Structure 1
Amino acid sequence: MNPSSPPPVKWLNKVPEITLVFWIIKMMSTTVGETAADYLNINLKLGLAGTSIIMGCLLAGSLLFQMRAKRYVPAFYWLCVVCVSVFGTLVTDNLSDNLGVPLAVSTAVFGTALVIVFAIWYAKERTLSIQRIDTRGREYFYWTAILLTFALGTAAGDWVAEGLGTGYVNAALLFGAMIVAVALARYVLKANATLCFWLAYILTRPFGAACGDLLAQPATSGGLGLGTTMTSIVFLSTIVCLIACLSINRQPVGEDRV
């Protein structure tokens, strides 16, 4: 190596530690993804196409800030997650509402695409651990997988709650029970941490979406009637407060390596 050449850039891990706060913000962001997409599409009358363009631009901008950072910055990271949540919801909604793709088909397609991304990621990097998102290539794989988990979760959640007619309450209970099963597998049976993380990450999307619909939809549709505006404001405000706390106190608590 030329002694005059600059040393290679070393990144710190670009994603947060997996703590209880991580999962709280993640589930709230999934709820916001569901309610905010409905608010922009229906309440503001932007339509699916207009909402998708706006959120696509916001997602691209937030990812630009995230990619340019050399370490984990809570505000950048969680802004990306919220934007991905909304955009992932819109991807599924466009396929279902505008193109007439059945939710069962969307679920199968997104599930297959996610498996392919994981397979290529592992073949190239030999790990799927989110504790090692410390190169540009791994970050590309990571955010591609995250987007697919949100699209898959939206399709699966809507398919179970609406397509199969189980309703929002039963859908929330079903996916909540599946999350509990993954947690038991990890902490009681000592199952692989990385596998359990990605399973839980996928399942929190339909769980959060079902909870969001339960809170926002009118009683005639099986919801509690809080509306998309109120639900989005409450959850976004809570997310902002939690992110502010994370930015002030950067010490990880309850670390679980995956």
Structure 2
Amino acid sequence: MTTDHLIHHRPAGHVRSAASKVPEVTVYFWIIKVLTTGMGETASDFLAHVLGPIPAVGLGGVALAVSLAVQFAVRRYVAWIYWTAIVMVSVFGTMAADVLHVGLAVPYTLSTPLFMAALAAVFVLWHRSEGTLSIHSIHTRRREAFYWACVLATFALGTAAGDLTATVGLGYLGSAVAFGAAIAVPAVAHRRGAMNAVVAFWSAYVITRPLGASVADWMALGHHRGGLGLGLGPVTASWTVAILGFVGYLAVSRKDIRHDARP
């Protein structure tokens, strides 16, 4: 079953009445997605260390609100606006998971299934409302709201899941290897026809979060925690430069623009 088969059968004029608000899923999409997850992980920790947890969460919340307001205000996908919002979701999603664990002493064994249930609830509500979970159908304000709710839930879930595996014995490098293997599963399953496009996409999307976060933590954290000890600031800066490079390339080349045929 393809993505298009899962699109709710509404009059064509309603489905394609506006330009897409999300990028085409290409190899660049996945590269930038993993980079934003890692950058969000280390940036969140860096800000909490420099500013303190409460000011960092407040700043992150304001930045997220502003970036999403701009994303909702534009009428079509714009690379730098979209990926800025993704970065802010990544930073704030990390903070949300950390607040539960550090601030409220909620163990990862509880927060992980909690965020998983929240994500499942958003998926159920989205599908009941729109009849589709396809990102190729993000042409209305309501579908865009469901999309970003899912994105935020996946980042919080991925943060909690990544920290859970890192603290139960795998470590950050071991977690990165495990999630790197796991992300290949939906790709292979979809290629062999065992998983439809929508399920494969969202499965891989969820896994990118703990994958990127585990790699970034492994690079940034000290040797006593199983890392390379490069530091939160340098890792955040280097991953930010990489993100800017890829997003700048896409903004110029427009290789991530989806060209839908209008009825």
- Say whether the fold is shared (TM-score over 0.5): yes
After superposition, the C-alpha distances for 1:132-151 in whole angstroms (9 at most, x for unaligned) are 10000001000000000000
Residue 112 of structure 1 is aligned with which of 112, 117, 122? 117
Letter aligned with residue 243 of structure 2? I
Of residues 86-95 and 166-175 in structure 1, the stretch that sits farther from structure 2 once superposed is: 166-175
Give the match for residue 191 of structure 1. Answer: 195
1:25 paired to 2:29: no
TM-score, normalising length from structure 1? 0.92
* Runs of 4+ residues over 3 Å off in structure 1: 251-255
Q: Is the 8 A contact 1:12 1:72 kept in 2?
A: yes
> If the length of structure 2 is used for normalisation, what is the TM-score?
0.90
Letter in 2 for 1:205: R
State the one-letter code of the partner of 1:230: P
Aligned: 1:223 with 2:227: yes
For residues 95 and 70 of structure 1, the distance between their equivalents in structure 2, rounded to whole angstroms, comes to 35
| Residue 254 (structure 1) shift | 10
Q: 1:91 aligns with which of 96, 107, 129?
A: 96
Check whether the contact 2:158–2:207 (CA below 8 A) recurs between aligned residues. Answer: yes
Are residues 1:211 and 2:218 paired?
no
Of 245-254 and 150-159, deviating more is: 245-254
The equivalent of 1:39 in structure 2 is 46
Q: RMSD of the TM alignment (CA)?
A: 1.8
Aligned to 2:248: 244
Q: Aligned-pair distance for 1:166?
A: 1.6
- Structure 1 position 157, deviation (Å): 0.6
Separation of aligned partners in 1, 2:253 and 2:194: 30
Alignment of 1:40-55 (within 5 A): 40-42=47-49, 44=50, 46-55=51-60
Residue 190 of structure 1: how far off its partner (Å) = 4.9
Which consecutive residues of structure 2, in runs of 5 or more, have no partner in the other structure? 1-13
Residue matched to 1:135? 140
Count of residue correspondences: 246
Q: State the distance in 1 between where 2:88 and 2:114 align.
A: 22
Structure 1 residues 30 and 105, CA gap change in structure 2 (3 angstroms): same
The residue that corresponds to 1:3 in the other structure is: none
* Identity between Structure 1 and Structure 2 (%): 44
1:144 aligns to what? 149
Native 8 Å contact 1:19 1:253 kept in 2: no
Shift of 1:10: 3.7
